[in-house]
Amino acid sequence: MKLITAVVKPHRLDEIKEALQAFGVHGLTVTEASGYGRQRGHTEVYRGAEYTVDLVPKIRIEVLVEDSDADQLIDVVVKAARTGKIGDGKVWSLPVDTAVRVRTGERGPDAL
Ligand SMILES: Nc1ncnc2c1ncn2[C@@H]1O[C@H](COP(=O)(O)OP(=O)(O)OP(=O)(O)O)[C@@H](O)[C@H]1O
């Protein structure tokens, strides 16, 4: 399994959720985040307001997937998140040893 993490612009959330549902993911986690990338110190527009601070509001989306789905899922997220402007975000993946579905006790890919 892989954990795909995307830190992206908040206003892309609906589009990303729809794309992930169409892809067939069974679950995801969304948390509010803030951060900066290479453009540190540059302004970004968030909900009409310009931010010159270096910590810009983002959302972090996390999805556990089977190894065989990881590359395709990353492409889906990147496509749905992209505006072509500074601060579009970053997507990365990590290997995951195990996952447990608490209600049933299923482990590994069956737990996803
Ligand atoms: N090296 C990093 N490590 C951890 N988180 C990062 C890193 N780079 C970016 N992030 C996170 O991703 C968010 C979005 O990154 P951002 O789009 O600003 O990166 P970028 O690579 O500089 O892209 P761009 O050049 O398009 O602005 C940041 O706000 C931060 O939370």
Q: Domain 2-111's class?
A: alpha beta
Rg of the chain in Å (alpha carbons): 15
Rounded to two decimals, the ipTM of the complex is: 0.89
Q: Structural domain boundaries of the chain? A: 2-111
The minimum-distance atom of ligand 1 relative to the CA of 33 is: 31
39 CB within 6 A, ligand 1:
yes
The tokens describing 16, both together, are 């990303």
Backbone angles phi, psi at 56, to 5 degrees: -100, 140
Backbone angles phi, psi at 10, to 5 degrees: -55, -35
The minimum-distance atom of ligand 1 relative to the CA of 58 is: 29
Among 43-52, 68-77, 84-93, 97-106, the minimum mean pLDDT is found in: 43-52
Q: What percent of the chain has pLDDT over 70?
A: 92
Question: pLDDT tens, 13-32?
Answer: 999 999 999 999 999 999 99
CA of 37 to the centre of ligand 1 (A): 3
Average pLDDT along the chain: 92
- Cβ density class 22-44: b for 16+ within 10 Å, e for less: ebebeebeeeebeeeeeeeeeeb
User: Residue 41: its pLDDT value, please?
Assistant: 54
